[in-house]
Amino acid sequence: MVHGRKGNPLDPDLLQSIIGTVGCNAGQERSRNSRFQAPAACNELFSMPAKHIWREGPQKPALPSERIDVWRLALDDSQLDKLSATLARERTVLAPDELARAARFHFEKDRIRFSRCRAALRALLSRYLGLSPGDIRFTYSPSGKPEVSADQNPHSVRFNVSHSESIALIAIGRCDNLGVDIEKVRRDVRAEELSERFFSTRERASLRALPARLRVVAFYSCWARKEAFLKAIGEGLGFPLSDFSVSVHPDVEPRIEEIRGDATVGKRWSLVDLSAADSFRSALVIERPSTSVATFDLTA
Ligand SMILES: CC(C)(COP(=O)(O)OP(=O)(O)OC[C@H]1O[C@@H](n2cnc3c(N)ncnc32)[C@H](O)[C@@H]1OP(=O)(O)O)[C@@H](O)C(=O)NCCC(=O)NCCS
């Protein structure tokens, strides 16, 4: 998600332009199938490609081998009174360090979203691992990437999580490095300024070459693709953003163009755009030359 966090170099003035409240409000109360669609008044620029079909996911999913399962979760926090019983139940599965982290959030909505997302992650992993949600232990890489503790994970189940506002995506696969990212599109983003700062020379040139009407959505597509790659390798910002390039055009099959000047190494990786919700761009990266993706809604 594009926001300020410790270690993230985004400067607050630039952040203000991203985090401002302009844009389509996807948080309205709608039916389950329509809650991820933008209101009709939103510009068509922000609608998503109708590519993936999100259906209710299986209670007992088969362990993926070649496939990546991506689960979509609505983190609605609009009806706090109705949520409190659910929240109390969900929080019982969180580990002490997760509860402590939740308590550190300044805003209640962030606390709720983090707790709901962690509880959902545990519930989901329990379906793949055959463990109780509260028994799952996470270990963290030096840059903070969580994994299931090796002694509980004989089949090398891997996962990655991303959240942006009221939507979270949880990608689950096996063995290979994977990363997922979702970004809310904001019309008032200073795309050129941010891309000068965070994108590679090649990406900046590709962005400038696009028609102006595509640039905002291309900016977010590029951002989500880059972030998904960073999250797949798990080094966070230890891997400089200018050291690799992804394709920028929002409507053309995405790919990793080069890593440290090597155009062949990108072929080791698969990069997939996910059509998660109107007004959002999201991407999945896995260290494997090709992959199939199944997309599910996490309902209960
Ligand atoms: C974690 C990080 C890699 C991404 O965080 P983010 O975009 O703010 O947030 P997301 O919602 O997409 O992902 C957060 C989740 O990723 C996972 N995560 C944490 N550290 C991670 C890491 N080093 N690698 C991969 N995944 C990580 C966690 O599950 C986390 O969920 P949690 O907060 O509920 O524990 C962040 O530390 C970071 O450094 N981002 C780079 C920001 C940037 O400048 N991007 C420019 C792209 S052009």
200 lines ligand 1 (CB under 6 A): no
- Name the E strands within the chain: 55-56, 67-74, 138-140, 146-148, 157-164, 167-174, 178-184, 244-246, 256-259, 270-274, 280-286, 292-297
Q: Is 18 in the pocket of ligand 1 (CB under 6 A)?
A: no
253-279 pLDDT, tens digit per residue, is 999 999 999 999 888 999 999 999 989
State residue 38's pLDDT score.
60
CATH of 182-294, one of 3.90.470.20, 3.30.450.40, 1.10.3720.10, 3.90.550.10: 3.90.470.20
Residue among 90, 115, 162 whose CB has most ligand 1 atoms within 8 A, to mutate: 162
Provide the residue ranges of all domains of the chain, joining segments of one domain with +. 182-294
Q: In angstroms, rounded to a whole number, what is the distance separating the alpha carbons of residues 111 and 126? A: 23
φ, ψ of residue 94 in degrees (nearest 5): -80, 145
Identify the residue whose C-alpha is closest to ligand 1 atom 12.
162
Asked if pLDDT for residue 9 goes beyond 70, the answer is no
Q: How confident is the model at residue 56 (pLDDT cuts 50, 70, 90)?
A: very high
Q: Tell me, what DSSP letter sits at residue 211?
A: -
Which pLDDT band holds residue 212 (cuts at 50, 70, 90)? very high
Ligand 1 contact, 231 CB (< 6 A): yes
148: pLDDT confidence band, cut at 50, 70 and 90? very high
| Average per-residue pLDDT for the chain | 83
Instruction: State the Cα–Cα distance between residues 191 and 203, nearest whole angstrom.
Output: 12
Give the pLDDT confidence score for residue 37 in this predicted structure.
65
**CA of 213: how far to CAs of 41, 44, 151, in Å?**
17, 11, 51
Kindly give the distance from the C-alpha atom of residue 171 to the centroid of ligand 1, in angstroms, as a whole number: 14
Question: Residues 4-11: what's their mean pLDDT?
Answer: 37
The better pLDDT of the pair 28, 31 is held by 31
48 lines ligand 1 (CB under 6 A): no
Question: Which residue reads 């599910």 in tokens?
Answer: 296
- Summarised one tens digit per residue, pLDDT across range 68-127 is 999 999 987 665 555 666 777 777 899 999 999 999 999 988 898 899 999 999 999 999
Q: Which residues contact 289 (CB under 8 A, 6 or more apart)?
A: 267, 268, 269, 270
Q: Tell me the best of 124, 193, 223, 230 to mutate to test the pocket of ligand 1, counting ligand atoms within 8 Å of each CB and taking the most.
A: 230
Cα–ligand 1 centroid distance for 144 (angstroms): 8
pLDDT of residue 15 exceeding 90, the answer is: no
Pocket test for ligand 1, best of 227, 256, 284, 286 (most atoms within 8 A of CB): 227
What are the CA-CA distances from residue 273 to residues 119, 223, 226, 277 (Å)?
26, 12, 11, 12
- Examine the pLDDT at 188 and tell me if it is beyond 70: yes
Is the per-residue pLDDT at 134 higher than 70? yes
Among 40-54, 71-85, 138-152, 222-236, the minimum mean pLDDT is found in 40-54
